[in-house]
């Protein structure tokens, strides 16, 4: 291959860019689309020195271990797990939109949705890329070291073979929309081997440099690779690319689908040829040096990553001396806090979010990463905790822009969700149908796909939980534009509940209340209970959020009054005289599994904010919630622990919240619950079988921030649940606070030493620490630094 | 004069063999073929060669076209002999061993001569067995043959078959009246050596092999072992008879025993034979020669108990080394290297079962690496397992010249870093490291060496210490200063230091050393002396930290002590170290030795 192929003409680029913006104006922009020429940094953004947030290992992954030992890269849409094996670099490449299945609108006999890989569909791999370097077999190299540079978003490895040091970098660039592999060496060595790009769905290869195909659902996809070298030669040889005697080798790969987030076009862009576009992208990227591509990527990445710094204190020298995997094992074995490792775990979550949630579909059950085509639960969007948990940390960790894929997704699905709800929800076979006989607005099932489809059982309150999550993003950002975008979702969900709520009289009283129709409290207990706490709390929050939104946007005044009226009549849970717990069902009895993973009866504590331990909530309600949380136990797995930690943070119990974080940092071996070698969270679904589920990688960082800062509009509390392990000193910057502020917080000896508030739209708020509180008033864009809380 | 430690030359022991030959009074009776053999005593080093069984037993396409085990023919054996002479002989490979079936047709029906002795199947070996041995010898190689132990049922002939060179003896005389059966398949009648005719029968078989010119005999199905126990399957007398019979022929014939020999009888095996299979067949009886799981990987668990018993004259036989052709072997490159590494360091015989006409280049590199062969063939002890029997293991041997042979293994199904800590070897400071597989000096390493290993991968090093020995402090398990929990109790143990140990560590039983003092905080490689008749696991923890569960290899029986290094994180000053059986059964603990410095 000729590394000096001419630039695509300026004219071509311009016309491509024009087409792109036209599509954007018309509606859903394809996730994989022609992009304007990347903005190249004028000064080098590369960091030097050793103080960056680094993770390192002394072993690569291999074909069979990529889900636990592959290192993830991603540009927000296009991702890969990399093995970093010296003799065989393997990238399993994904595109967020690479989904089988479709609308899935034929209900099963029970009135619920089919949930299979053909009908509902599954997230699947886009491609696999291997770079074989036979002379660099792992059994023949020494000093192998592998790093994930969180501060720059670069995976790297190095090793020595016959006294030559070889280095490799892998990164996924959003500006250039490619994954780059850069192979270098020092000491007079060269690279000889082969590059193979292939599909994983039995595609017929169309040559060494690209392939394209389509699924039965009509989704077209394709990928392309291009390589160039310094020294030696690179040549296409049948279905592979050979490289021989190269002092340096650069490989760029791209790919995608013709998915478009637009129900009116059936979620396709029929004009898009993904293989052709991928070829264009790798050809364009290959005209630049690997160094240029790296600098462009790092500048883009750091714009997001640099928004939050975190220190939870200093670790000991013997902890720092360990590689990340040994360090995880030591943290668990020795029971000694490792504040730098714990902070790095949070930053790893941020790395995953930046890598997996920009400009395409939101993070699914596996984020953006796969090791095969049959992920558990299809790698889908689960609406009863998982997709919401994925985004709890976005604002809290300074990554508000990464939230947008979640919003975009819900908006793109709304027409389909609405149509399916109208057509299918009141199917007489659906046990959850509205007994009022009415149906309005929209809701979802427990699983959703990107084709407008639902899977598994109906989940009536799922609409409220999605809306409440989207609304919280407004609380953090105070973005009216965002509020206006999500308003139709909120209103449609309110309409759904207006049609669904039943009026009942509480036994022994004359009090009329509104309760949710027959439903299941996720995911245990009776499937036909009315007035479940889960739905009542969700709808109560939804109605409140809608009313604020309507007022803020000056819309639907009359309807907002109606909804406010309904909200006042909503039944809210009581404390069981039998168990002392806040009731999950309208029953004093425990109808479910005491230590169940879900905390569906506690959604008013978190993510809801109705139950507060600050005197504003009746003490018996707080005590009942606390008692139920205690009964749920401390020893669940990933996301369930993260959720518990968030609840304990809200209850200001630092010890328990921290213990749950520590539980999630337990090294996973033999498929056990905990954190894998590559820091992915592993959920043991059956003895000895662990699967990757990404939600805890996001939920745990969310809990860590929630321990440092609680916020609601008009009220901030500093260090509500600071554990001893992090108390000595620390700081966190760029934490978004509900109400429209961004907070930088420093502490020492367990007390805040300074807090800086910057308004991104917020005006007046109380800032509290313990018994001390101050009121701050700022204009948007203004900031203030407060000190003296420690006195 | 001693030869260099790593010599693979057969120069040593010339005088010894002469003495042996004279002792046997047979110096003048050495057959013609002997002239082609070198003069080292039998099994002075682990033997090297090839065996027919791996290909016979495989369903790999094309190997056995005429039915199961049909591979074994004169043509195939000679083809392999020729290939060995051409490719491998110069590296020390010499034995060409014919395995089971040479006297059976392709329907597995046996032939016997008029004296109840196995007779070559005319289809497989049309020229008879002597012609094969002659051809092998003509190539400068040695020939091996095979028999099951006992009197094969089909040879019994109603008890009327005469025994060769034994007037009046018939097959009825050499077995028990009740025709009790023996061997791993119950395919033979147990021989009753209280009747002198029995020895005569063995003598007659041995003489036949000597006459044909064979240099090696694999005696198979031997018990106790071969998955059998009990009196009927005790073949110690058979093995002793074979040794005697071989000696009487005057021809040096290496006697190798198979399979899964009972370690409780190891002194018998050492006394009467030149090697013993410690484990079941390595072959998978599947579409390849072997698979990792069935049953190459078992050897890492089963070898440690035997290590102490290997030495000149008799070696632990880990079975065939099938690493010569990745596709046919059914193994990854990493697995093949690990396989060859363990066989080399354990001083197992190095005989391959591969098709020597189809070795791939990586296979050749594994089978012909002179540095690795030197580890196996040199005047060095077998390596022992230094770590618990966990997925990441370190094995080492201290060589007479002060260096160490060190192997790292990653038996996990995914890549992992493995560290050999110099503290495990008993010294601190620096050491230079040579990579034997890659023929490369890696330089000087302080404290230890960590390498990334592929799944089922390995590294093999020679370590030359440049540091100093680390003194240790012993803490006896039976010390009254310790705390015993659950069922744990002090018991007598003649092999243990202080003649006592702590046992009954099961179902919550635990032992805590209460006052382990070190100067500095750090991770220490604690040497744990333990006794365990079978592989058992133990949770090890220090102070209030969490426990790490380790698997301990069997020491062979409940009267033998072995020592492994376990990393424990200690603080400066006094520490507690706890060994907890948890919910299982744990080894007995003799004592721990705590180094004065951390790793």
Calpha distance A47→A295 (Å, rounded): 10
pLDDT of residue A50: 56
B333 to chain A nearest CA, in Å? Answer: 9
Is the pLDDT score of B154 beyond 60? yes
Q: What is the DSSP string of B104-143?
A: B-TT--B-B-TTS-B---TTT-TTHHHHHHHHHHHTT-EE
Radius of gyration of chain B (CA): 26
In chain A, which residues have their Cβ closer than 8 Å to the Cβ of B453? Answer: 59, 138-139
Quick count: other Cβ atoms within 10 Å of Cβ A788? 11
CB count within 10 Å of CB B153 equals 14
Report pLDDT digits (tens) over A148-179. 999 999 999 999 999 999 999 999 999 999 99
Taking CB atoms and an 8 Å cutoff, what residues of chain B touch A57? Answer: 417
Residue B3 lies in a domain: no
In a domain, B5, yes or no: no
Tokens linked to B473: 């402090």
* Of residues B454, B522, B541, nearest to A62 (C-beta): B454
Q: Does the beta-carbon distance from A335 to B546 stay under 8 Å? A: yes
What pLDDT is recorded for position A54? 83
Does the pLDDT value for residue B32 go beyond 60?
no
Instruction: Determine the average pLDDT of the residues in B501-516.
Output: 97
| B469, B504, B538 - which closes a domain | B469
Bridge partners for A148 per DSSP = A55, A155
- In this prediction, residue A204 carries a pLDDT of 87
B165 shares its domain with B176: yes
Q: Would the CB atoms of B414 and A142 count as touching at under 8 Å? A: no
A6 has a pLDDT exceeding 80:
no
pLDDT higher than threshold 70 for residue B5: no
Strand partners, B539: B549, B580
- pLDDT digits 0-9 by tens, A53-91: 689 999 999 999 999 999 999 999 999 999 999 999 999
Looking at the structure, tell me whether residues B459 and B485 fall in a common domain: no
The answer on pLDDT for B10 being more than 60 is no
* B277 and B396 fall within a common domain: no
CATH number at residue B462: 2.60.40.1180
Same domain? For B463 and B483 the reply is no
What's the pLDDT tens digit per position in A208-245? Answer: 999 999 999 999 999 999 999 999 999 999 999 999 99
User: Are the beta carbons of B333 and A137 separated by less than 8 Å?
Assistant: yes
- Whether B32 maps to a domain, the answer reads yes
Question: Using alpha carbons only, what angle is made at residue A444 by residues A438 and A445, rounded to the nearest 5 degrees?
Answer: 115
- Nearest-angstrom CA–CA distance, B386 and B396: 7
Query: DSSP H helical segments within B380-500, as ranges?
Result: 422-425
Provide the edge-to-edge strand list for the sheet that holds B404-410.
Answer: B384-385, B392-398, B404-410, B457-465, B430-435, B440-446
Distance (Å, rounded) from C-alpha A324 to C-alpha A327? 5
Using CA atoms, how far apart are residues A313 and A339, in angstroms rounded to an integer? 5
How do residues B59-76 score in pLDDT, each as one tens digit? 999 999 999 999 999 999
Chain B: give the shortest CA distance to residue A260, in Å.
38
Q: Is the pLDDT of residue B1 over 50?
A: no
Beta strands across the sheet bearing B188-189:
B151-152, B188-189, B181-182
Please count the other Cβ atoms lying within 10 Å of the Cβ belonging to residue B446: 12
In chain A the first and final C-alpha atoms are separated, in Å, by 69
Domain assignment present for residue B6? The answer is no
pLDDT at residue B489 in the model: 98
Question: ipTM for the complex?
Answer: 0.91
The whole-angstrom distance between residue A654's C-alpha and the CA centroid of its chain comes to 25
Report pLDDT digits (tens) over B444-463: 999 999 999 999 999 999 99
Distance CA A317, CA B381 (A): 39
CA dist A133 and A139 (Å) reads 13
Average pLDDT for A675-693: 97
Residues A206, A204: Cα–Cα separation, whole Å? 6
Of all residues in chain B, the one with the smallest CA distance to A329 is: B548
- pLDDT on residue A48: 80
User: Is B352 found in the same domain as B397?
Assistant: no
Q: How far are the Cα atoms of A571, A572, A654, A736, B499 from residue A611, in angstroms, in the given order? A: 15, 11, 18, 21, 66
**Same domain, residue pair B497 and B455:** no
pLDDT of residue B11: 35
Residue whose C-alpha is closest to residue B49's, from B367, B406, B375, B421: B367
Tokens read off for B350: 């190095």
**What is the per-residue pLDDT for A788?**
84
Question: Which of A549, A540, A409 minimizes the C-alpha distance to A478?
Answer: A549
The chain-wide mean pLDDT, for chain B, equals: 93
Sign of dihedral through CA atoms B480, B483, B486, B491?
Answer: negative
| pTM of the entire predicted model | 0.92
The DSSP secondary structure of A138-171, one letter per residue, reads GGG-EEEEEEEETTTTEEEEEEEETTEEEEEEEE
Contact B347, B316 (CB under 8 A): yes
- % of residues, chain A, pLDDT over 70: 95
Which of B357, B381, B405 represents a domain boundary (last residue)?
Answer: B381
What per-residue confidence (pLDDT) applies to B598?
A: 82
Q: B213: exposed, middle or buried (C-beta count within 10 Å: 0-12, 13-18, 19+)?
A: buried
- Residue B572 burial by Cβ neighbours in a 10 Å radius (0-12, 13-18, 19+): exposed
Q: How confident is the model at residue A52 (pLDDT cuts 50, 70, 90)?
A: low
The arrangement of secondary structure in A10-107+127-330, i.e. its CATH architecture, is Distorted Sandwich (2.70)
In this structure, the strands spanning A764-769 and A715-718 are: parallel
**Contact flag B415-A142 (C-beta cutoff 8 Å):** no
- Residues with Cβ < 8 Å from A115, sequence gap 6 or more? A378, A447, A455, A456
Residue A30: band (very low, low, confident or very high) from pLDDT cuts 50, 70, 90: confident
Contact yes or no for B300/B342 (Cβ under 8 A): yes
Q: Helix (H, G, I), strand (E, B), or coil: what is residue A369?
A: coil
Pairwise CA distance, residues A254 & A227, whole Å: 12
**Interfacial residues of B (vs A; Cβ cutoff 8 Å):** 333-334, 337, 413-417, 435, 437-438, 440, 442, 450-455, 457-459, 521-523, 541, 544-548, 569
pLDDT of residue A34: 83
Task: Tell me phi and psi for residue A715, to 5 degrees.
Answer: -150, 125
Does the pLDDT of residue B2 top 60, yes or no? no
Tell me the shortest Cα–Cα distance from A142 to chain B, in angstroms: 6
**Dihedral sign of CA atoms B8, B14, B20, B21 in order:** positive
Q: In this structure, are strands A751-759 and A741-748 parallel, antiparallel, or unpaired?
A: antiparallel
How confident is residue B23, by pLDDT bands cut at 50, 70 and 90? very low
- H helices present in B97-235, as ranges: 128-138, 171-174, 196-212
Strands B430-435 and B384-385: unpaired
Helix count and strand count (H, E) for chain A: 18, 34
Q: Are strands B275-277 and B315-317 parallel, antiparallel or unpaired?
A: parallel
A333/B546 CB distance under 8 A: yes
What pLDDT digit, counting tens, does each position of A92-101 carry?
A: 999 999 999 9
Where does the pLDDT of residue B20 fall: very low under 50, low under 70, confident under 90, or very high at 90 and above? very low
Lookup: tokens for A673:
């619950």
Burial class, B19, CB count within 10 angstroms (exposed 0-12 / middle 13-18 / buried 19+): exposed
As a dihedral over the C-alpha atoms of residue B291, residue B292, residue B296, residue B301, rounded to 10 degrees, the angle is -150
Distance from CA of B407 to the nearest CA of A (A): 12
Mean pLDDT for the stretch of residues A359-363? 97
Range of the domain at B366: 14-381
Which pLDDT value is given to residue A734? 98
The answer to whether the bond into A194 is cis (omega within 30° of 0) is no
How far is residue B207's CA from residue A36's CA, in Å, rounded to a whole number? 89
Domain limits, chain A: 10-107+127-330, 725-787
Instruction: Tell me how many domains chain B contains.
Output: 3
pLDDT at A391 over 50: yes
Specify whether B529 is located in the same domain as B439.
no
Q: How far lies A623's CA from each of A195, A626, A642, A777, in Å?
A: 62, 5, 21, 34
Examine the fold and report which residue of B414, B436, B469 is the final residue of a domain before the chain moves on. Answer: B469
Same domain as B456, residue B375: no
Residue B512's CATH number:
2.60.120.260
Domain check: are B336 and B464 in the same one? no
Sort strands B392-398 and B404-410 into parallel, antiparallel or unpaired.
antiparallel
- pLDDT tens digit string along B321-339? 999 999 999 999 999 999 9
Can you tell me the mean pLDDT for A688-714? Answer: 97
Give me A383's structure tokens: 């609406």
CA angle in degrees (0–180, nearest 5) for A394-A397-A402: 35
Q: Give residue B283's pLDDT band: very low, low, confident or very high (50, 70, 90).
A: very high
Token output for A727: 């108390």
Q: What is the pLDDT of residue A28?
A: 63
Shared domain check, B404 and B304: no
Same domain, B538 and B512: yes
Q: Judge whether B8 lies within some domain.
A: no
Task: Answer whether residue A370 shows pLDDT above 80.
Answer: yes
Looking at the predicted structure, is the pLDDT value of residue A479 above 90? yes
Architecture of domain A725-787: Sandwich (2.60)
Residue A418 vs residues A113, A490, B197: alpha-carbon distances, Å? 15, 12, 96
Cα four-point dihedral sign A340, A342, A346, A349? positive
Question: pLDDT of B127-138, one tens digit each?
Answer: 999 999 999 999
- Mean pLDDT across the stretch B535-564? 95
Q: Which residues of A touch B437 (CB under 8 A)?
A: 139-140
| Distance in angstroms (rounded) separating the CA atoms of residues B526 and B154 | 58
Q: What is the average pLDDT value for chain A, to the nearest integer? A: 94
- Residue from B111, B223, B207 nearest B163 by CA: B207
Query: How far apart are the CA of B308 and the nearest CA of chain A, in angstroms?
Result: 29
CA A519 to chain CA mean position, Å: 28
Residues B306 and B348 in one domain: yes
Whether the bond into A749 is cis, omega within 30 of 0: no
> Distance between CA atoms of A160 and A139, rounded to whole angstroms?
12
Nearest chain A residue (CA) to B409: A139
Residues of A in contact with B458 (CB under 8 A): 139
- Whether residue B517 is contained in a domain is answered as yes
Per residue in B174-202, pLDDT tens?
999 999 999 999 999 999 999 999 999 99
Q: How far is residue A513's CA from residue A510's CA, in Å, rounded to a whole number? A: 10
């Amino acid at each position: 291959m000729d590394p000096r192929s001419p630039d695509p003409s300026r004219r071509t680029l311009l016309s491509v860019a024009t087409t792109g913006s036209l599509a954007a104006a018309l509606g859903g922009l394809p996730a994989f689309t022609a992009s304007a020429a990347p903005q190249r940094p004028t000064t080098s953004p590369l960091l030097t020195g050793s103080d960056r947030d680094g993770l390192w290992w002394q072993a690569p992954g291999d074909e069979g271990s990529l889900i636990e030992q592959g290192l993830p890269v991603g540009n927000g849409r296009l991702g890969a797990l990399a093995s970093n094996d010296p003799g065989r670099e393997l990238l399993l490449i994904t595109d967020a939109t690479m989904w089988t299945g479709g609308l899935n609108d034929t209900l099963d006999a029970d009135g619920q949705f089919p949930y299979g890989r053909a009908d509902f569909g599954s997230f699947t791999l886009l491609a696999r890329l291997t770079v074989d370097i036979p002379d660099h077999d792992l059994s023949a190299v020494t000093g192998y070291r592998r790093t994930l540079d969180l501060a720059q978003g670069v995976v790297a490895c190095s090793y020595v073979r016959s006294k030559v040091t070889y280095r490799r970098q892998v990164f996924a660039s959003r500006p250039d929309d490619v994954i780059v592999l850069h192979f270098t060496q020092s000491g007079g060595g060269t690279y000889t081997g082969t590059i193979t790009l292939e599909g994983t769905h039995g595609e017929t290869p169309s040559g060494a440099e690209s392939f394209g195909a389509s699924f039965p659902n009509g989704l077209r996809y394709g990928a392309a690779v291009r390589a160039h070298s310094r020294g030696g030669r690179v040549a296409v040889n049948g279905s592979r690319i050979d490289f021989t005697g190269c002092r340096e080798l650069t490989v760029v790969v791209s790919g995608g689908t013709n998915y478009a987030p637009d129900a009116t076009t059936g979620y396709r862009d029929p004009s898009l040829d993904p293989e052709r576009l991928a070829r264009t992208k790798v050809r364009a990227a290959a005209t630049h040096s690997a160094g240029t591509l790296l600098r462009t990527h790092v500048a883009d990445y750091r714009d997001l990553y640099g928004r939050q710094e975190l220190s939870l204190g200093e670790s000991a020298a013997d902890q720092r001396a360990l590689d990340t995997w040994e360090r995880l094992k030591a943290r668990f074995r020795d029971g000694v806090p490792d504040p730098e490792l714990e902070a790095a775990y949070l930053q790893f979550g941020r790395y995953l979010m930046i890598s997996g949630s920009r400009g395409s579909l939101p993070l699914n059950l596996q984020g953006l990463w796969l090791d095969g085509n049959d992920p558990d639960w299809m790698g889908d969007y689960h609406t009863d905790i998982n997709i919401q948990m994925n985004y709890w940390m976005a604002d809290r960790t300074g990554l508000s822009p990464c939230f947008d894929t979640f919003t975009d997704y819900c908006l793109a699905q709304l027409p389909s969700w609405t149509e399916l709800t109208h057509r299918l929800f009141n199917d007489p076979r659906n046990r959850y149908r509205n007994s009022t006989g009415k149906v309005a607005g929209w809701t979802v099932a427990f699983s959703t796909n990107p084709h407008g489809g639902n899977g598994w059982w109906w989940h009536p309150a799922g609409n409220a939980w999605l809306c409440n999550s989207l609304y919280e993003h407004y609380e953090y950002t105070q973005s009216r534009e965002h509020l206006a975008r999500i308003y139709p979702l909120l209103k449609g969900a309110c309409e759904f509940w207006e049609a669904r709520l039943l009026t009942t009289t509480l036994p022994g009283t004359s009090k009329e209340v509104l309760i949710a129709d027959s439903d299941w409290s996720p995911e245990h207990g009776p499937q036909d209970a009315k007035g479940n706490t889960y739905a009542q709390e969700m709808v109560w929050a939804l109605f409140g959020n809608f009313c604020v939104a309507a007022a803020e946007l000056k819309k639907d005044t009359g309807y907002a009054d109606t909804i406010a009226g309904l909200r006042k009549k909503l039944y809210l849970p009581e404390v069981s005289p039998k168990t002392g717990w806040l009731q999950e069902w309208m029953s004093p009895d425990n109808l479910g599994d005491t230590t169940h993973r879900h905390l569906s009866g506690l959604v008013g504590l978190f993510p809801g904010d109705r139950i507060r331990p600050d005197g504003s909530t009746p003490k018996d309600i707080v005590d009942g919630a606390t008692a139920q949380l205690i009964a749920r136990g401390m020893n669940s797995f990933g996301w369930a622990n993260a959720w518990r930690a968030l609840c304990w943070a809200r209850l200001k119990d630092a010890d328990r919240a921290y213990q749950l974080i520590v539980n999630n940092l337990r090294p996973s071996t033999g498929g056990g619950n905990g954190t894998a070698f590559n820091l992915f969270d592993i959920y043991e679904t059956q003895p000895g079988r662990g699967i990757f589920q990404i939600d805890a990688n996001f939920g745990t960082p969310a809990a860590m921030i929630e321990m440092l800062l609680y916020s609601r509009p008009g009220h901030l509390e500093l260090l509500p649940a600071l554990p001893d392990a992090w108390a000595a000193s620390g700081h966190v910057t760029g934490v978004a606070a509900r109400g429209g502020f961004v907070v930088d917080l420093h502490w020492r000896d367990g007390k805040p030493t300074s807090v800086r508030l910057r308004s991104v739209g917020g005006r007046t708020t109380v800032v509290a620490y313990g018994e001390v509180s101050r009121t701050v008033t700022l204009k948007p864009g203004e900031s203030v630094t407060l000190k003296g809380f420690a006195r | 004069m001693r030869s260099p430690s790593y010599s693979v030359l057969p120069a040593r022991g010339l005088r010894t063999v002469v003495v042996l030959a004279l002792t046997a009074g047979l110096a003048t009776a050495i057959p013609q073929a002997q002239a082609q053999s070198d003069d080292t005593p039998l099994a002075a080093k682990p033997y090297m060669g090839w065996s027919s069984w791996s290909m016979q037993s495989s369903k790999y396409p094309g190997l056995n076209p005429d039915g199961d085990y049909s591979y074994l023919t004169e043509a195939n054996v000679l083809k392999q002999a020729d290939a060995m002479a051409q490719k491998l002989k110069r590296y020390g490979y010499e034995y060409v061993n014919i395995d089971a079936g040479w006297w059976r047709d392709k329907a597995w029906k046996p032939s016997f001569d008029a004296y109840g002795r196995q007779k070559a199947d005319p289809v497989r070996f049309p020229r008879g067995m002597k012609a094969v041995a002659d051809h092998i010898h003509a190539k400068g190689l040695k020939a091996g043959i095979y028999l099951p132990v006992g009197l094969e049922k089909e040879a019994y002939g109603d008890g009327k078959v005469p025994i060769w060179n034994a007037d009046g003896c018939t097959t009825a005389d050499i077995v028990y009246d009740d025709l009790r059966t023996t061997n791993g398949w119950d395919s033979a009648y147990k021989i009753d050596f209280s009747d002198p005719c029995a020895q005569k029968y063995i003598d007659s078989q041995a003489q036949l092999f000597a006459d044909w010119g064979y240099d090696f005999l694999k005696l198979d199905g031997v018990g106790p072992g071969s998955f059998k126990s009990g009196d009927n399957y005790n073949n110690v007398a058979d093995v002793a008879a074979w040794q005697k019979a071989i000696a009487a022929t005057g021809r040096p014939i290496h006697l190798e025993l198979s399979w899964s020999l009972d370690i409780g009888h190891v002194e018998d095996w050492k006394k009467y034979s030149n090697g013993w299979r410690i484990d079941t067949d390595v072959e998978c009886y599947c579409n390849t020669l072997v698979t990792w799981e069935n049953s190459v990987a078992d050897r890492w668990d089963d070898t440690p108990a035997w290590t102490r018993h290997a030495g000149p004259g008799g070696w632990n036989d880990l079975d065939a080394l099938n690493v010569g052709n990745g596709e046919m072997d059914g193994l990854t490159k990493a697995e093949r290297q690990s396989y060859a590494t363990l066989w080399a360091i354990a001083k197992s015989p190095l005989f391959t079962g591969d098709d020597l006409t189809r070795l791939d280049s990586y296979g050749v590199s594994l089978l012909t690496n002179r540095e690795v062969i030197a580890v196996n063939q040199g005047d060095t002890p077998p390596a022992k397992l230094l770590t618990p029997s966990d997925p990441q293991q370190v094995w080492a041997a201290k060589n007479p010249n002060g260096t160490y042979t060190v192997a790292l293994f990653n038996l996990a199904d995914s890549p992992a870093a493995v560290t050999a800590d110099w503290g495990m070897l008993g010294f601190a400071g620096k050491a230079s490291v040579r990579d034997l597989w890659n023929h490369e000096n890696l330089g000087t390493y302080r404290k230890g060496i960590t390498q990334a290993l592929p799944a089922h991968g390995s590294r093999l090093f020679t370590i030359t210490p440049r540091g100093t020995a680390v003194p240790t402090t012993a803490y006896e398990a039976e010390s009254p200063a310790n705390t015993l929990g659950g069922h744990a109790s002090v018991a007598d143990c003649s092999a243990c230091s202080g003649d006592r140990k702590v046992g009954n560590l099961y179902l919550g039983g635990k032992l805590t050393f209460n006052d382990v003092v070190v100067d500095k905080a750090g991770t220490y490689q604690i040497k744990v002396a333990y006794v365990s008749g079978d592989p058992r696991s133990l949770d090890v923890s220090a102070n209030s930290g969490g426990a790490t569960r380790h698997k301990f290899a069997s020491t062979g029986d409940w009267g033998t002590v072995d020592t492994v290094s376990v990393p424990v994180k200690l603080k400066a000053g006094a520490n507690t170290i706890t060994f907890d059986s948890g919910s299982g059964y744990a080894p007995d603990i003799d004592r721990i030795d705590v180094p004065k410095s951390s790793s």
